[in-house]
Amino acid sequence: MILCLIILFFLVPDILHPIMGINYLWAMKIMTISYSTKSLDHLGLVSGMCKDIGIAKFIDDAHPEQSKDKHISYGQLVEAMILNGLGFVGRTLHMYLEYFADQPVERLLGKGVKAEHINDDALGRCIDQLYETGVSELFQGLSARTIAHLKLPCEGLNLDSTSIHVDGEYKDEDGNAAIQLSARLQL
């Protein structure tokens, strides 16, 4: 019976008003809900994958000496750069603020993060710190993490040899012709 009255109250308020003496307008003011909408587009999927893989945590763990008074971590800034790069826009560092102004930043990057926190100064400090840490090592670690998370079969590794170039004849300590390449590889 009560359920029927509640349904009638919301569906046919003009019937209940004279019968039950309920002030319809007062009840509707209590039920008012305000909301806003922002479009995630494909960035929601990209952000979700970044969180599943743990990109921000991996970067932040590699940089434990971050400022305590900052609003956004290096890991979150890296995720912001990924979102920008996969956002079909490719804004330069000084235009990130414009790019993220219309995005649901807290939903994409984390609670408390606002578009104004993603500025060229913060991004520049992040990039400098990534360079000092070693981007190749970070990339290798993130690659291994992604392979493990997605459970991809990894039967072989490919070396991008475009950056290796040797001219001339080289000899070892004994005078024999030899070239020795060495690399650090960790999985």
Q: What is the pLDDT of residue 159?
A: 59
- The radius of gyration computed from the CA coordinates of the chain, to the nearest angstrom, equals 28
How much is the pLDDT for 86? 83
Of 89, 80, 79, which Cα lies nearest the Cα of 57?
79
Measuring CA to CA, which residue among 88, 72, 78, 71 is closest to residue 54?
78
How many Cβ atoms sit within 10 Å of the Cβ of residue 81? 17
Residue 171's SS3 state is strand
pLDDT tens series, the chain, 187 aa: 555 545 545 555 555 455 555 555 555 556 677 777 777 788 889 999 999 999 999 999 998 887 776 889 999 999 999 988 887 666 677 788 888 888 888 889 999 999 889 888 889 999 999 999 998 889 989 988 998 899 988 776 665 656 666 677 777 778 777 666 655 555 4
pLDDT digits (tens, 9 = 90+) for 113-149: 998 898 888 899 999 999 999 988 899 899 889 988 9
Spatial CA neighbour of 70 closest among 13, 18, 12, 110: 110
- Tell me the whole-structure pTM to 2 decimals: 0.64
State the alpha helices, DSSP H only, in the chain. Answer: 2-11, 13-20, 24-30, 43-53, 55-62, 74-85, 96-101, 105-109, 120-133, 135-150
Structure tokens of 77?
């800034």
Distance (Å) of CA 140 to CA 104, 148, 151: 30, 12, 16
Q: What is the pLDDT of residue 30?
A: 61
Torsions phi, psi of 42, nearest 5? Answer: -80, -10
